Amino acid sequence: MRLKDKVAIITGAGCGIGRTTALTFAREGAIVVAADINEAAGKKVVNEILEMGSTANFEPVNVADAQQVNRLVKHTVDTYGKIDILINNAGIVADAQLVKMGLAQWQQVIDVNLKGVFLCGQAVARVMKTQASGGVILNASSVVGLYGNFGQSNYVAAKAGVIGMTKTWARELGKKGIRVNAVAPGFIATEILKAVPEKVIAIMIEKTPLGRMGQPEDIANAYLFLASDEATFITGAVLSVDGGIVI
């Protein structure tokens, strides 16, 4: 119960890493606000949490829309009176090589993966600054944000930008008792891999020193540690959870 009675907003909570994080946080005592653009998926994870006997609610949100983000934050404060944790997890991909990438592909990924993190972080930080207890903001980056990746100019730019914002926010918000960190996942077995050829998956596993793909639980557990009181002296950090693939 490391997060007992903590109010946690988790964006992209309907599937993959977000879903697993929502369930993990609920098991650890958090009150989960599952935010997602996919209403069916978001409500499904909330129902799972309620069946566990924990507290949760679903909030529909497109993180790239400032009005929707502000509504999410206001509803959360109106319902629970505070926000202790924000997990900026929502993200998309639209891959193409540089010479083939259209402006729509570029903008869509930047809007969700970078602008969305900014909007959610800004709205939640304004609340956390008024709280005596401060809060925790955790941003989803990626190992590709640290090292680049073929065919992902848009995604890499967004994830690298998230790292920069994380370090900036840690500097700006630390005196208000707000910790800001990023997690940089490696090759994780989520729904997104359904579109990846098996031979590519096999190559990535071979390149990973630990000899396997990461699981959503690996990232959820990293979020759990950074959100808990066990990490009260950690801010401005980027935690790679990648099985050693970047070595």
How much is the pLDDT for 246?
Answer: 80
How much is the pLDDT for 200?
Answer: 84
Provide Rg for the chain, Cα atoms.
17
Residue 129 maps to a domain: yes
Residue 245 maps to a domain: no
Is residue 147 part of the annotated active site? The answer reads no
CATH number for position 72: 3.40.50.720
Sign of the C-alpha dihedral, residues 20, 191, 92, 73? negative
In the beta sheet, which residues pair with residue 86? 9, 137
Residue 244 maps to a domain: no
- 192 pLDDT higher than 80: no
Sequence letter at residue 37: I
Residue 246 maps to a domain: no
- 195 pLDDT higher than 90: no
Phi and psi of 180, rounded to 5°? -130, 120
How much is the pLDDT for 197?
Answer: 81
Q: Report the mean per-residue pLDDT for the chain.
A: 96
Q: Which residue range forms the structural domain that includes residue 95? A: 7-239
Residue 247 maps to a domain: no
- 193 pLDDT higher than 90: no
- 76 pLDDT higher than 90: yes
- 35 pLDDT higher than 80: yes
Question: pTM of the full predicted structure?
Answer: 0.96
Q: Are strands 238-241 and 178-185 parallel, antiparallel or unpaired?
A: parallel
211 sits in the region (left: phi over 0; alpha: psi -120 to 50; else beta) called left
Structural domains counted in the chain: 1
pLDDT in tens, 105-160: 999 999 999 999 999 999 999 999 999 999 999 999 999 999 999 999 999 999 99
% of the chain beyond a pLDDT of 90:
92
Mean pLDDT of 216-230: 98
The residue to which tokens 């401005």 are assigned: 236
Residue 63 maps to a domain: yes
Rounded to whole angstroms, the Cα distance separating 87 from 219 reads 12
Instruction: For residue 211, give the 3-state DSSP assignment.
Output: coil
Residue 185 maps to a domain: yes
Residue 1 maps to a domain: no
